[in-house]
C-alpha cells in the first residue's frame, strides 16, 4: 500500500520526473547539524518551498499522490502551504488541521503523545461537513508518525474517508510509515 515516488515518464537522458523531484529535494534541502539538539541533523525544506521550480514539482508530485481526493487536509504548519498548492492543482478545497487553541469553538479535537507530554490537533466542528469527503493528507515531513496518525483519527472521527497521505520527506529510521499503515503513503524522498 505505501510507496515512494514511483510515477513519471522518462525524460531527457532517461531521467524520470521522480528522479528530477528527488534531485531537487536533495539540492534544495538545507541540512542543519545539531538542531534542535546535539546529534540531530535538521532537514530544512524552506529553500525548496522558496524555489519556484522546486515548489511546482513537489506540488505536482503530491497532487498525483492525492488523485481521487475531494478535499486536501494540510497539517499545521508547512502542510498548509503544500496542501493549499495541491488543492489548487486538483481543483478541490483545503482544510487546515490546526494545533490546539488556534480555532474558535466548537472544534473536533484529537490528542496524541509527544516525547514529553501530549499535544492536540483540531478542525472546525461547524461550517465544514466532512461526511462523504475523500480526504488526502499533505505534510512536509514524516518522522515518528504521531502527528499524521492523530490527523487520520481526527478526520475519520469527523466523518471523512481518509484515502491517502503524501509528504515531501520521510525519515525512515523513525518508523512513521508503520504507525500509519495501512494508509497509502507517498514520500517524495525517503532518507
For 146-175, the pLDDT digits (tens) are 999 999 999 999 999 999 999 999 999 999
Decide: pTM greater than 0.85: yes
Q: How confident is the model over 41-57, as pLDDT tens digits?
A: 999 999 999 999 999 99
- Return the residue matching grid coordinates 498525483: 64
Number of domains in the chain: 1
CATH no. for residue 132?
3.40.50.2020
b (16+ CB within 10 A) / e for 99-136: eeeebeeebbbbebeeeeeeeebbbbeeeeebeebebb
Tell me the pLDDT tens digit for each residue of 70-129: 999 999 999 999 999 999 999 999 999 999 999 999 999 999 998 788 999 999 999 999
Q: C-alpha distances in angstroms, 72 versus 5, 66, 124, 135, 185?
A: 19, 8, 15, 6, 14
Its domain, for residue 54, covers: 3-190
Catalytic residue numbers read 78, 115
Amino acid at each position: 500500500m505505501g510507496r515512494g515516488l514511483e510515477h513519471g515518464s522518462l525524460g531527457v537522458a532517461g531521467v524520470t520526473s521522480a528522479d528530477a523531484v528527488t534531485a531537487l529535494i536533495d539540492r534544495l534541502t538545507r541540512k542543519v547539524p545539531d538542531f534542535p539538539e546535539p546529534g540531530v541533523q535538521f532537514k530544512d525544506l524552506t529553500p525548496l518551498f522558496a524555489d519556484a521550480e522546486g515548489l511546482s514539482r513537489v506540488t505536482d508530485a503530491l497532487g498525483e499522490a492525492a488523485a481521487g481526493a475531494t478535499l486536501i487536509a494540510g497539517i499545521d504548519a508547512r502542510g498548509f502551504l503544500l496542501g493549499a498548492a495541491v488543492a489548487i492543482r486538483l481543483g478541490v478545497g483545503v482544510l487546515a488541521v490546526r494545533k490546539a487553541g488556534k480555532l474558535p469553538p466548537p472544534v473536533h479535537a484529537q490528542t496524541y503523545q509527544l516525547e514529553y507530554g501530549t499535544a492536540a490537533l483540531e478542525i472546525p466542528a461547524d461550517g465544514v461537513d466532512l461526511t462523504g469527503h475523500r480526504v488526502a493528507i499533505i505534510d512536509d515531513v514524516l518522522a515518528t508518525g504521531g502527528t499524521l496518525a492523530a490527523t487520520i483519527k481526527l478526520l475519520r472521527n469527523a466523518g471523512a474517508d481518509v484515502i491517502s497521505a503524501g509528504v515531501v520527506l520521510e525519515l525512515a529510521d523513525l518508523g512513521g510509515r508503520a504507525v500509519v499503515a495501512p494508509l497509502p503513503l507517498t514520500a517524495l524522498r525517503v532518507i
